[in-house]
Amino acid sequence: MNFNTALLHNNFRGDTSTGATVVPVCQTSAFAHESAEKLEAVFNSKAFGYAYSRISNPTVDSFEKRMAALEKGIGAVACSSGMAAVTMSLLNILQSGDEIIAGSGLFGGTLDLFEDLKAFGITAKFTDDVTPESIEPLITDKTKAIFAELIGNPKLNVVDVKAVAELAHSHGIPLIADSTTATPYLIHPFEYGADIVVHSSSKYINGGGNAISGVIIDSGSFKWDASRYPGFKGYEKFGKLAYLAKLRDRKSVV
């Protein structure tokens, strides 16, 4: 399946219950089940199904699967905006005392977020050019993430993903890439070593400029060691899916 076909058909073969040929919009907060026991099982992730749209919803699920397929990731979590995606991609792994290293030419909302995170004890260190040479001197024991926009908005500066990912991994640090401006049409950041990709899908991915949304996609390749990332305690059993399980807040079962 090539790019244009995958855009339309990946993970979606029509709705078998209604015959709809495009993804129906399920505009509902909650989902009914035949018994309280079934609902409880779904709610506790012990049975497949939908319970509440903040956690999952067939329309959102279809978008997440499609984005994961386009980025060649193991899964995705959709968010209410690109800023929600950027924020949650970091808060899912960080705690007070941690440091982030980031490019300085970032989207304004992300720069504001990094300023706001100071109040929670999370510090961002900035580098004008996101290169291994400029990042390495900024790395400390507290560095828990490197964050870069692959094509910066607004400067359009381009990051050498492979070189930066290699440096990050040599220090046991994940690379979180904001690929909003690049889109999966231009690059698959996971093929060059990025660990997590975020998008503001309000931009090219929406395409029509009529809705705000964001998405976080996981490569599944970073090992979230709970001794370095204490929030992952209890999530080890999810293996490669630990980051996504934590993000969706599913401690019990997949």
Ligand X SMILES: *Cc1c(COP(=O)(O)O)cnc(C)c1O
Instruction: Kindly list the distances between the CA atom of residue 139 and the CA atoms of 87, 134, 144, in Å, as whole numbers in the listed order.
Output: 21, 10, 9
Q: Name the closest residue to ligand X (Cβ).
A: 82
Residue 174 or 235: the one with the smaller Cβ distance to ligand X is: 174
Inter-residue contact 111 to 105 (CB < 8 Å)? no
Report the nearest approach of ligand X to the CB of residue 211 (Å): 9
- Give CA–CA dist 232/229, Å, rounded: 6
Report the nearest approach of ligand X to the CB of residue 229 (Å): 23
**Which residues of the shown chain bind ligand X in the complex (CB under 6 A)?**
81-83, 86, 107, 109-110, 149, 153, 178, 180-181, 200, 202-203, 212, 214
β-sheet bridge partners, residue 241: none
Report the nearest approach of ligand X to the CB of residue 79 (Å): 9
Residue 68 or 205: the one with the smaller Cβ distance to ligand X is: 205
Residue 103 or 220: the one with the smaller Cβ distance to ligand X is: 103
Q: How many other CB atoms are there within 10 angstroms of residue 25's CB atom?
A: 10
Report the nearest approach of ligand X to the CB of residue 186 (Å): 13
- What is the DSSP track for 208-223? SS----EEEEE-S-S-
- Give CA–CA dist 201/66, Å, rounded: 12
Residue 42 or 73: the one with the smaller Cβ distance to ligand X is: 73
